[in-house]
Amino acid sequence: MCGIVGYFGPKNGAKIIQEGLAKLSYRGYDSWGIAAKTGETLTIYKQTGDIERGEKLELPSTRVIGHTRWATHGSVTVANAHPHTNESGTIAVVHNGIIENYALLREALIDEDYLFKSQTDTEVIPHLIDYYMKRGQTFAESFSRTLSDLKGSYAILALHADGTLAFARKGSPLCIGIADGEYFISSDIPSFLAHTKNVIHLEDGDSGILDTELTITNYGKPAHRIATPVPWDITIARLGNHKHFMIKEIEEQQRTIPAALNQEHALIEQAVRLIKQTPNLVLAGCGTSYNTCAAAAAHFIAAGKHATPVIGSEFDSAAPLLSEKTLLIAVSQSGETADVLDAVKTAREKGARVIALTNVPSSSLARASDLVIPLGTGPELCVLATKTCTAQLAILTLLALKSAGKDTGTLTQAAASVRAVLEEGKKHAKKLAEQFKDATSLFVLGRGHLRALASEAALKIKEVTYIHAEGIAAGELKHGSIALIEEGTPVIVFGNNETRDLITSNAMEVRARGAIVLGIDSERSPAYDYHIPIPELGEAGQLLQILPVQLLAYELALARGCNPDKPRNLAKSVTVR
Ligand code: F6R
């Protein structure tokens, strides 16, 4: 939900910021803008649309801030794009988050004759800084005074025309990349990975100033933050020979699934101990992360463990069942999803323990948890979760099997089969996409733990192709959804040895009504028009079964002229409720 980045150093900052914003555009891409110190003034440039299609700016400046937007307050217009400024244009601000009390602040400022040009919550910030500066405070003092007026969540960068850069974080991510005499302050590391791997992860309540030196305080008290190297390789943030990050990240699963399983032994043992101890295991996540929770809950339950998957935004409904005996496994790629962070807060208030599964070990989720299991995939830049989905599935299945005392060899076999399944999937994906590309609806059927995987498959297809797609418990089909099956409706069926007989009947039922059935299954059933074989690996099979659907979703997106990396209306990190 919006990405911000600032540069302070000796080089051409406008170019660096434009390149950095392109790397952050997974956080929002409906408009973008930059503010650059040019001489004694600030030059502001804003545009609607995706920065990657925007013009390359020739702006010699060594102090620059930029923003890529996912609209919340106000529609997609140049006026609503960031940066926002005070009236004289000497203070520019970019912001990620939501200022909850902006309406009151705006009214108070209008009473003081401040003029607003946008409908955003952000615009109150430069005006407030201006207000305090006009009353004799310095830029730094005014920035800090402004922060104390704000309610809500934010990562903010403010640039003054004298070249001073101020920053703050509360509830939205912000980190500082440090190179030799250069600073990059950003929502996320990929925006500056080409320049440095040395990173300070700011804490909630941190704010600071960059002028002759870097000063950081936490809620007003001096704070000492140390830069640490991130183990990420720059090639992860580059497309290389691939056309899109989606296909690059799908292919990376040959590496990321084995890596996710290759966790520190002591960490997994500790998590397993906590799982065994709790009589009430709750798993929470949103979107794909919820689907992996639901799939894992089925494994825990099958092994006799009481486990409840809860959608992050519905967590309040589970709150009455929480106690100090509860263990919450909170799953979030970004570690910044607001509903998951709220769930953790609620669980903590009830005294529950929390294990975080996240791809960002420095995230807000990781900081709020007792134990952090990293997904370890490296940054995922496509808006769709693919490699992080299978990393979550791998780790959660590992925990379920280990806590039930079961053999985990099937997971190792699944990891070793990723390449072959991707190869097989590629043989079919293009042809199937051609056949399915004009469909208006698509259904995915599964039973048992494969029901949750059916929801994940449908999510992948709908978000990138805009085809209406539903994942259904196959047995539920007859209770309504079968009314929508007509001649040519694509139906994907996830089968395995345990469910094949029943799911074959369900596949027959839809086929009898004209559906075209694609079976992703260890064996071919007569009900399948098309079949993509995967090895029979019990609980671990789902790691492989989702792969051909990811490939199909990608090819369908291309066949329908959709941008796979940037589906409409979506942002990767959902930091609003
Ligand atoms: C699906 C997708 C989203 C995310 C959801 C949760 O492809 O990307 O549904 O899974 O927004 O995000 P995290 O895992 O960051 O909490």
**What is the tens place of the pLDDT at every residue in 9-29?**
999 999 999 999 999 988 888
| pLDDT for residue 510 | 96
Distance between CA atoms of residues 61 and 45, nearest Å: 13
Tell me which fold the domain 238-406 belongs to.
Rossmann fold (3.40.50)
Beta carbon of 289 within 6 Å of any ligand 1 atom: yes
Residue 478's Cα: distance from chain center in Å? Answer: 35
Lowest-pLDDT range of 64-73, 319-328, 397-406, 501-510: 64-73
Q: Which residues of 74-93 are buried (b: 16+ CB within 10 A; e: fewer)?
A: beeeebbbbbbbbeeebbbb
* pLDDT, tens only, 506-556: 999 999 999 999 999 999 999 999 999 999 999 999 999 999 999 999 999
Residue with tokens 């469909």: 439
Catalytic residue among 170, 402, 566, 572: 572
pLDDT at 447 over 80: yes
* Cα-to-centroid distance, 415 and ligand 1 (Å): 23
Does residue 365 line the site of ligand 1, with CB under 6 A?
no
Concerning whether 572 is annotated as a catalytic residue, the answer is yes
- Tell me the percentage of the chain whose pLDDT exceeds 90: 87
Tell me, using a 6 A CB cutoff, whether residue 384 lines ligand 1. Answer: yes
| Nearest residue (CA) to ligand 1, atom 11 | 287
- The pLDDT value recorded for residue 235 is 76
Q: Which of 70, 188, 288, 568 to mutate to test the pocket of ligand 1 (most atoms within 8 A of CB)?
A: 288
Tell me the HSE value of 27 on the side-chain side, using a 13 A CA sphere.
Answer: 31
Q: What is the mean pLDDT of residues 187-212?
A: 94
Which amino acid would we find at residue 272?
V
List Cα–Cα distances, 301 to 404, 471, 474, 541, in angstroms: 10, 21, 19, 17
Lowest mean pLDDT among 75-84, 108-117, 168-177, 566-575: 566-575
Q: Give the pLDDT band (50/70/90) at residue 315.
A: very high
Question: 3-230 has which fold?
Answer: Glutamine Phosphoribosylpyrophosphate, subunit 1, domain 1 (3.60.20)
> DSSP letter at 341?
H
Mutate to test the pocket of ligand 1, among 456, 574, 575 (most ligand atoms within 8 A of CB): 574
CB 173 within 8 A of CB 157: no
Q: What is the average per-residue pLDDT within 232-248?
A: 86
Query: With 80 as the cut, is the pLDDT of residue 157 above it?
Result: yes
Is the pLDDT at 156 greater than 80, yes or no?
A: yes
> Quick one: pLDDT band at residue 237, thresholds 50, 70, 90?
confident
Q: What is the mean pLDDT of residues 47-56?
A: 84
| Ligand 1 mean position, distance from CA 287 (Å) | 5
Tell me the best of 27, 250, 286, 565 to mutate to test the pocket of ligand 1, counting ligand atoms within 8 Å of each CB and taking the most. Answer: 286
Between CA 216 and CA 144 the distance in angstroms is 12
Q: Is 333 in the pocket of ligand 1 (CB under 6 A)?
A: yes
Active site residue 2: yes
Q: Is the pLDDT of residue 459 over 80?
A: yes
Q: Is the CB of 13 under 6 A from ligand 1?
A: no
The answer to whether the CB of 534 is under 6 A from ligand 1 is: no
Question: Model confidence at 171, in pLDDT bands (50, 70, 90)?
Answer: confident
Residue with CA at minimum distance from ligand 1 atom 10: 288
Protein residue whose Cα sits closest to atom 9 of ligand 1: 287
Ligand 1 center to residue 510 CA distance, Å?
A: 30
- Whole-angstrom Cα distance, residue 507 to residue 370? 44
**pLDDT recorded at residue 392:** 98
φ/ψ of residue 197, rounded to 5: -110, 5
Q: What is the mean pLDDT of residues 123-128?
A: 98
pLDDT of 567 higher than 90:
no
Q: Where in the chain is the domain with CATH 3.40.50.10490?
A: 238-406, 426-564
pTM for this predicted structure: 0.87
Q: What is the homologous superfamily of the domain 426-564 according to CATH?
A: Glucose-6-phosphate isomerase like protein; domain 1 (3.40.50.10490)
- 14 Cα: distance to centroid of ligand 1 (angstroms): 31
Task: Pick the residue whose CA is nearest to atom 4 on ligand 1.
Answer: 287
Ligand 1 centroid vs 571 CA: distance in angstroms?
Answer: 9
Q: Tell me, in angstroms, the distance from the centre of ligand 1 to residue 385's CA.
A: 6
Q: Give the Å distance between the CA of 286 and the centre of ligand 1.
A: 6
Active-site choice (2, 286, 293, 562): 2
Q: Is the pLDDT of residue 1 over 80?
A: no
What are φ and ψ of residue 510, in 5° steps? Answer: -75, -35
Q: What is the pLDDT of residue 297?
A: 97
pLDDT in tens, 361-394: 888 899 999 999 999 998 898 999 999 999 999 9
Contacts of 575 (CB under 8 A, 6+ apart): 1, 96, 97, 153, 171, 172, 336, 337, 338
Q: What are the pLDDT digits (tens) for 247-280?
A: 999 999 999 999 999 999 999 999 999 999 999 9
Kindly tell me the number of DSSP H helices and DSSP E strands found in the chain.
15, 25
Which residue's CA is minimally distant from atom 3 of ligand 1?
Answer: 287
Question: What is the mean pLDDT of the segment spanning 207-215?
Answer: 94
Q: Tell me the pLDDT band of 50, cut-offs 50, 70 and 90.
A: confident
250 C-alpha vs ligand 1 centroid, how far in Å? Answer: 16
Pairing of strands 198-201, 228-229: antiparallel
Question: What pLDDT digit, counting tens, does each position of 395-409 carry?
Answer: 999 999 999 999 999
Q: What is the model's pLDDT at position 231?
A: 78
pLDDT of residue 164: 97
> What's residue 305's pLDDT?
95
Residue 116: per-residue pLDDT: 97
